Amino acid sequence: SFILFQDQIIPREQGKVDIEDRGYQFGDGIYEAIPVYGGQMFLLDLHMKRLKRSANELRLQLPFNIDLLTEKLNKLIGLNRINDGIVYFQITRGSAPRQHFFPDQAGSILTGSVVSHDWRGNHDSGIETSLAEDIRWLRCDIKTLNLLGNVLAKQYAHEQGSQEAILHRGENVTEGASSNVFIVKNNHLITHPADHLILNGITRLFVLELAERLGITVDEQTFTLDDLFSADEVFITSTGNEVMPVVKIDGRTVADGKAGDVTSKLGEAFTGEVT
């Protein structure tokens, strides 16, 4: 398969990063994961807008402009013959002798790849989840390569036999280890506000738009573990999961254990937009 290395598309085996790359040593970098449907990147502009925001927040210089990046990503999708898949790319602050403060010289390094496998999950059966304390830093709004808090939570969920960790700071639910969390109560949608405690998911944003189109009311407001357990429906959203019903939380069945009506409506509307 082919990968992107800076603005060059090369065979995967030829991609080499330096041992002192700051992404490798400090997690000093950012990334995006963009879904591809029918060979086309979906909600590209929103992903690129978030990328630019992440770069600004970390004072990270992109190695080249978004138009060229888009062109190269499209080439990568074509060369790898991806129909439905996910494009992943990251940008690090480059390579320099190890010191914590920013290096003067190092240019940022962009690498990207694309995967196509059976990544669209089973939306009928939904997923099981586990609760985990959200121990991450206070800038979860930036899509950085520092994912240890997310990784540990996901590993815990995995060991419990579930597919996602639902994170909470004390009583308040924030988001999933790699997804956003929504609850439905009396046909009304609630999800954590897009502040510094969550990543503002592009799927989340799109689902908010779908809800408006369908006349489903929404509150972007903090909700508690009690709200989660008393919800009529719970679902998560992400690039990989799309709109995914949550049927269990820590072994407790959500409502009747099936995907709820509002979740299904949003899921169908989502599928309608991408197929």
Q: Which of residues 161-180 bind ligand PDD (CB under 6 A)?
A: 175, 178-180
What is the CA 248 to chain-centroid distance, rounded?
21
Name the residue whose CB lies closest to ligand PDD: 201
CA distance 131 to 245: 16
CA distance 46 to 50: 6
Site string for ligand PDD, 198-237 (x = CB under 6 A): -x-xxxx--------------------------------x
Among 129, 150, 163, 191, binds ligand PDD (CB under 6 A): 150
SS3 per residue for 215-234: CCCEEECCEEHHHHHCCCEE
Tell me the CA distances in angstroms from 148 to 110, 153, 178, 205, 206, one per residue in order: 21, 8, 12, 25, 27
In the complex with ligand PDD, which residue's Cβ is closer, 162 or 180? 180
Among 1, 9, 33, 116, binds ligand PDD (CB under 6 A): 33
Q: How many residues bind ligand PDD (CB under 6 A)?
A: 15
CB atoms near residue 233 (< 10 Å): 25
Is 143 one of the catalytic residues?
A: yes
Which of 16, 49, 52, 143 is catalytic? The answer is: 143
The residues that are catalytic are: 143
Residues that bind ligand PDD (CB under 6 A): 33, 150, 175, 178-180, 199, 201-204, 237-240
